[in-house]
Amino acid sequence: MALLNILRYPDPRLHKVAKPVMVFDDRLKKLAADMAETMYDAPGVGLAATQIDVHQQLIVIDTSETRDDLRVFINPEITWASPEKQLYEEGCLSVPGIYDGVERPARVKVRALDLDGKPFELEADGLLAVCIQHEMDHLKGKVFVEYLSPLKRNRIKTRLIKEEREQKRDAPRAAVR
């Protein structure tokens, strides 16, 4: 397994729309395993393939406290969303250090395929429902900060660009020491 590079907002590749997975093979299983390892290492509770610059409809999620309940969703689609909403404090591995409230349906039903291409359905609420919706947004080229006001979004973008510039500037110095 390998740790993968996670794209950082505002990288334009985060806005690419993912294509459905058509081939269920060992390469797909390795990709899902590498994504899970990357998610756990980050640490996070979900990761979409879009975030690692692979534009296929694949997400991995583990919202368990014990980090031993990995779920893989391939070509997921929400078939039902509750009319009641909930406000949840969200963060994102592609938007490190930023957390803000996003209102989403409180419950969802999702239909997807597993790593063998077998269909399954799941009803989710709480953190799992939020995570499914958040990761599916990535597959559509949407990052959670796009739910925020333009002012907040621009502040976040400016902050992350500045941090990246400072990291690049400091990197050569760290190597010389």
Catalytic (active-site) positions: 135
138 is in an annotated binding site: yes
- Own/partner contacts of 52-57, CB < 8 Å, gap of 24 or more, are 52/4, 52/5, 52/6, 52/7, 53/5, 53/7, 53/13, 55/16, 55/17, 55/18, 55/19, 56/18, 56/19, 56/20, 56/21, 57/18, 57/19, 57/20, 57/21, 57/139
55 is in an annotated binding site: no
Q: DSSP label at 84?
A: S
- The span from the CA of 133 to the CA of 144, in Å, is 10
134 is in an annotated binding site: yes
- Close Cβ partners of 115 (under 8 Å, ≥ 6 residues apart): 24, 28, 29, 32, 72, 74
- 97 alpha-carbon distance from chain centroid: 15
Residue numbering of the annotated binding site: 92, 134, 138
Residue numbering of the annotated binding site for Fe cation: 92, 134, 138
